[in-house]
Amino acid sequence: MFTSLEPGPDTIGSCSTPQSPCGVLSAHILVGIHPPKHETFDLTAKTNTDPKGIARAVDVYTVQPWGLYMARPTPGRRQFHYIESWLLPSLDLRVTVFHFNPGHERDQDFYLDIGQYVPGPTSWRGEDHYLDLILRTGVGVQVTDVDELFAAVGQGLLSPERGNRAVRTAIATVEALARHDYDLHRWLAGIGMALTWRGADSR
């Protein structure tokens, strides 16, 4: 089963209220919420500048007409040692596979960040818009961090327009995955985006 898109503290509500992102139906507001996280993907230098401003070495960048693939180690992270991501600007999505360290595995196949991803000739830019989707292939998808999105809009860190867009993206993504039996690759291949991955044993 997938996360219900009904009003509640941890779900997404109706998109009928223009003044706030889909009605801002949240039971609590977070205090001290962080601004949207920004990243830079430098194709020439083969670096990924993370939200902390640290330039991380990238093993692989692959540019497609519809997206950017990145694979890199994650030094200093206790939970995982490597990530692979696809940035998909037309869908407002970043799809990531985490390679977890022993003892830190999670019951997920793909982690989808909702945000704005802007291509460039030598570098791409990303701005995270709080909402995340955790996908288990063939099982379902969970929408998370709804409270962070609502709080960010309420505190003026993210515009209502971008908040609304993030909610609409989440709804459209959940619906598309549901139509394809929660098979990310089948959905994306059907719209001309064939994702490929290096895999844990190819480095």
What pLDDT, on a 0 to 100 scale, did the predictor assign at position 80?
86
Q: Are 84 and 92 in contact (CB under 8 A)?
A: no
Residue 112, classified by CB atoms within 10 Å of its CB into exposed (0-12), middle (13-18) or buried (19+), is: buried
What pLDDT, on a 0 to 100 scale, did the predictor assign at position 143?
97
What pLDDT, on a 0 to 100 scale, did the predictor assign at position 49?
97
How is residue 138 written in tokens?
Answer: 């063939």
What pLDDT, on a 0 to 100 scale, did the predictor assign at position 144?
97
What pLDDT, on a 0 to 100 scale, did the predictor assign at position 106?
79
- Residue 135 CA to residue 44 CA, distance in Å, equals 32
Rounded to 10 degrees, the C-alpha dihedral 157/134/147/156 comes to 10
pTM over 0.85: no
Domains in the chain (CATH in brackets) are 37-189 (2.40.380.10)
- Residue 68 CA to residue 126 CA, distance in Å, equals 11
Rounded to 10 degrees, the C-alpha dihedral 46/50/54/57 comes to -30
Q: What is the mean pLDDT of each run of 10 residues along the chain (203 residues)?
A: 35 34 41 89 98 96 98 87 96 94 84 98 98 97 96 96 98 98 98 89 39
